[in-house]
Each structure stands twice: as structure tokens, then as C-alpha cells.
Chain A
Amino acid sequence: MIPWEPIGLDEGSCYFWQIGPLRLWVQNLGAEWIEAHEYDAESEHYTSLVSARPAEKPPGLEWSRLICNEESSVLKLTPFLPDRPVVVGSKQTLKVLPGSDALFFVTVPMWISLCVGRHGASKLMEIPSVVLSNTWFGGLTSGEFCYSLKTAAYRTVKDALVFANELICPVRVKNVATTALDFKRLCIHVEYLKIYGGPVLLWTNEVAITHEGADLPSSLKYNETPPPFEERCVLINRERTPPERNLFKKSFSFLRYFTTTE
């Protein structure tokens, strides 16, 4: 059973989920819901996936009371992308030669939203599936507050080690400039990406960044179709921010950050 299906929770009983390092307990108290979660730092638990298993309320956790007007005993967990851009780094400087393009697969941890109702009408809360460290992308006087990813940008899906709490974001970098594009860190604005579910993995739509030169704006394109790397991918969640209106503006920001070499 995948954790994104709506599930009816009997009043009074406590249920447990584990999505990678995130361990989550939810209890339906009728007029309100209570929730507790913790992070399991043991690395072997990063592949664990447990969906809505009846469980005892664990002692010693901090519980949150969640009150909503939706009178339903159905709870729906929905994956979201992080609420800030993510920065993926590489130990070595990556170089894309003029006229070349490269496809990278970046594993991004998901955020989980708890919604009440079969269609998730009332959102109770949103929880990160892992605690990410913060980073700054850009100059010291202007830049962007981002999450830092410890994973690398993989060249093939087979190389990527995908944990239970992660989804894959395909990023195509195309260099149409006359000089080589070399960079060590890549900032991905995940708030503009949709989430698709395949038979095995979760994906985002592909983002294509075309580098046209160090001082020129790079164009940014979000592919509207499901990722072609797995068959029968279905849309699970829409983007947090629709990219259409600010795409051009954001492209300028992208250029500055994207061409930052360190």
C-alpha cells in the first residue's frame, strides 16, 4: 500500500507511518487530530516505508493538537516539494562544453502534508521528511535562502540512490554559449515543479536550463509533460507556485545563481 492513498482512521485509534527517516503518528479524536513525529537518524531506515499501521502512542514525544472544521475520518498524506529552493553540490567542478547538453538526476527529499477528507480539502500541517541544512546561494548582499542537499547530481537513474522519502528531479543543462560552463553548485527552484508518481519512483517534471553566456540571461523551461523515464506516471501534486508569469524574471535570477562558480 502506498502512503498517498486516503485512509479512514477509526476514532480513538493511533496510526503510524514511516517514510524514510520520518516516523509519524496520527490519532483521530473526532473533534480534533493529534500528531507527533520524529526523525530516525539510522541510515538503514532511510529506505523504510510503512503506511498507516495501527500503533500504540509512543511515550516521550511532543504531540500537536490539530483542529479543523472538516468532519471526516479520512486522512490523506500528500508529497510536496520543499518550500524553498534546493542547492545541490558536487565535490568536483562540473564542466559542460560549448554546444553540449547534459541531463542530471537530482534526488530531492519530500515534504509531507496531512490533509483531512478524501480529496484532502483541509490541510492540517506540512512536515519535512528530513531535516535539511540551510545554505545561502548568491552574493553576500543579495542572494537566496535555500536548503542544502547532500546528494550529488547523478547522470543516470541507475546511479542514483533514491530513499523512500525522496523523489527524482531531472535537470537538463544546455550550454549554447561559446565558452565552457563550469559550476560546482546548482540551485533548483523546486517550488515551480509538479510531482508525478510512477510504478516505482516519484518524479518531478523536467527542468531545462539553457546557458547562453556568462553575462546573458539563461532561459528556463519547465516541461509540462510527465517525465519519460518511467511509464504510466500520473500527476500526484501540482507546483507550489505556477511558473508562467514570473518565468522570465526568474530566469534572470537563475542566470546569476546558476553561473556562480565557486
Chain B
Amino acid sequence: MFDFFISTFRTVFNPNILLIALRVIVTVVVGFFFVKMLVFFASKAANRRFSPQSSMIIRKALFYTGAFIIFILVLKQLGVKLAAILGAAGIAGISLGFASQTSVSNLISGIFLISEKPFSVGDIIKVDNTSGIILSIDLLSVKIRTFDNQFVRIPNEQLIKSQVTNMTRFPIRRLDINITLSYREDLEKVRDLLLAIAEGNPYCLDNPEPFFLIQSFGHNGVELLFGVWYLKPDFTVLNNSIKLEIKKRFERECIRIPYTQVHLHSGDQG
């Protein structure tokens, strides 16, 4: 037993092994120090020139590349034959490639999304029936927060395939209000009233001018489209205030909005 400890002690504290261990420690410490320094300065430069999203990707790419190089150097210090490992890695890579097709597809889609920049962090997007604010754009997925405060992860592959609407890309937007009027109403009077309502609303931009369109003569009445322009953060407050005002003013001016009425006749009445 004692001999075993002695031999183990001699093996472990062999000067050659200690030297290799020291080399490995120095490689890891110095390597990571340089990688961290490189990431720090690259990050500072990237923050000035690129978006936070691109800056984060540059940081991560540099760090993981540096870590991989340190790993290879450590293996070399330990005397591991890299050719054999790379050969094994090739075989493992093929099997892994088959197993991770979806991930690779998401990864490539993520690279396309990042380079194409259809949206950025903080934008409001709509994908299929989900809309929300973008929290992060990563290589595999995009994370969004819906308006009812749910966390949704959308794989990048799905985003590439789907129609994505960026609702906050441009600084101003138009709020379209569909109104149906009775055929008895004076359309010019209604137009002037709507324009006056828009002019009096502080959230409504006076240029581009409000848009008034007689869309069609429908089954229930004349169908109008009234569009007002607004600054994108004012959507909720404008939407509510202008619709309340339209209803109030229509009631005051006795302008009727027709609605479908159902008459029920009892069978007894023939």
C-alpha cells in the first residue's frame, strides 16, 4: 500500500509532468487574458460602429474562437495527436450533422436574419398570429415579449419562412378607421367633421394630412375609410381618443352608424 502511494507520488510529481501542468496553466491563464483583452477592445470599437445586436455577436464570436484556439493549444501541450482527434471529429461531425439538422438550419437562418436586419431589438413585430416586442435576436431563435407579457421563442427558420411585419420600422404610421354611414347622411358634412376632429386631436399629425376615402356603397350603408397619421408611440392614446371623439361628435350631430338588425317573428303570428 505504502509502495503504491510512493509510486503514485513519484509519477504525479515527476518534473516532466509538473512542467507540462505548468505549461497548460500558463497557456490557459495567458490565453484567456489575451482573449478577454481582445474581446474588450473589439467590443468598445464595435459599440461605436455597430448596433448592440451586432456588437454582441462579434463579442461572442471572438470569445468562442479564442477559447477553441486555447483548447487546441492545451491539447498540444498534453501531447495529444490532433490529427487523430480531427479524424474522429470528422466522423462525429457527420453523425452530429444528421442529428442537428434543425439547429443548423436555425443557425444559418439566424445568420441571414442578422445580416438582412429586417428588425432589431426593441421593434414590434407580428409573425403569424403572434405580435410583441423583440427582446433578443440570437443565432438560433428570436425572443419576443407579447403585449400580455408572455415570453415567446420563435426559431429563426420559422421567421425566414414566414411573413414578418415590422410595425415600428418607420417613425410615423397611419391609423385607419373604417366607418359605415347611413345613406341618408350628408357625406361632405361628415368629411368636414372628421377632419375637424383630427385637427383638434393633439396626437394627430397635421402633415401628412388625414386621409378620407369613400370606399364603397355597401349593403348596410356608405363605407368610409378615415386615416390619420401619428408618431408610433402614440398609437394607443390616439386610437382611443379619436374613436371616442368620433362617437361623441356623431351623437351630437345626429349622424347615424347603421348596424345589422335581426327581426324575429313568432310562428303563431303567421
Nearest residue (CB) in B for A134 is B205
A135 near B206 (CB under 8 angstroms)?
Answer: yes
C-alpha gap A141/B171 in the complex (Å):
7
Q: How far is the CB of A193 from chain B (nearest CB, A)?
A: 22
Is residue B231 within 8 Å, beta carbon to beta carbon, of the partner chain?
yes
- Are A140 and B208 in touch, CB under 8 angstroms? yes
- Cβ-defined contact, A145 with B171, below 8 A: yes
Whole-angstrom distance from the CB of A203 to the nearest CB of chain B?
Answer: 27
Q: A140-B208, A145-B231 are in contact. Are A134 and B203 (CB under 8 A)?
A: yes
Q: How big is chain A's contact interface, by range?
A: 10 to 19
Query: With an 8 A cutoff between CB atoms, is A87 at the interface?
Result: yes
Q: A87-B207, A131-B202, A148-B206 are in contact. Are A136 and B170 (CB under 8 A)?
A: no
Tell me the minimal C-beta distance from B169 to chain A in angstroms: 8
Are B208 and A136 in touch, CB under 8 angstroms? yes
* Distance in Å: Cβ of A253 to nearest Cβ of chain B: 14
- Does B206 lie within 8 Å of A143, measured CB to CB? no
User: Taking the nearest CB of chain A, how far is it from the CB of B89, in angstroms?
Assistant: 48
Overall SS of chain A's interface: strand
CB distance from B15 to the nearest CB of A (A): 65
In chain A, positions 77-126 with a C-beta closer than 8 Å to chain B are 87
**How many residues of B are counted as interface, with CB atoms below 8 angstroms from the partner's CB atoms?**
13
CB of A15 within 8 Å of the partner chain: no
Of all chain B residues, the one with the shortest Cβ separation from A141 is B170
Is A133 positioned at the interface, with any CB of B under 8 Å from its CB?
A: yes
Contact B202 A143 (CB under 8 A): no
Q: A131-B202, A133-B199, A134-B202 are in contact. Are A140 and B207 (CB under 8 A)?
A: no
- Whether A163 sits at the interface, judged by CB under 8 Å, is no
CB pair B206–A134 under 8 Å, yes or no, is yes
Q: Please, what's the 1-or-0 string for A174-188, where 1 marks a CB less than 8 Å from any CB in chain B?
A: 000000000001000
Partner of A148, one of B172, B207, B231: B207
Contacting pair B207 A137 (CB below 8 A): yes
Which residues from B are CB-within-8-Å of A135?
205-207
| B229 on interface, CB distance cutoff 8 Å | yes
Chain B residues lying within 8 Å of A140, measured Cβ to Cβ, are: 170, 172, 208
The closest CB in chain B to the CB of A145 belongs to B231
With known contacts A87-B207, A140-B208, A133–B172 Cβ distance under 8 A: no
Q: Which residues on A sit within 8 Å (CB–CB) of B171?
A: 136, 142-143, 145
Taking beta carbons and an 8 Å cutoff, which residues of B are in contact with A?
170-172, 199, 202-208, 229, 231
CB<8 Å pairs between A and B, sample of 23: A131-B202, A133-B202, A133-B205, A134-B203, A134-B204, A134-B205, A134-B206, A134-B231, A135-B205, A135-B206, A136-B171, A136-B172, A136-B207, A136-B208, A136-B229, A137-B207, A140-B170, A140-B172, A140-B208, A141-B170, A142-B171, A143-B171, A148-B207
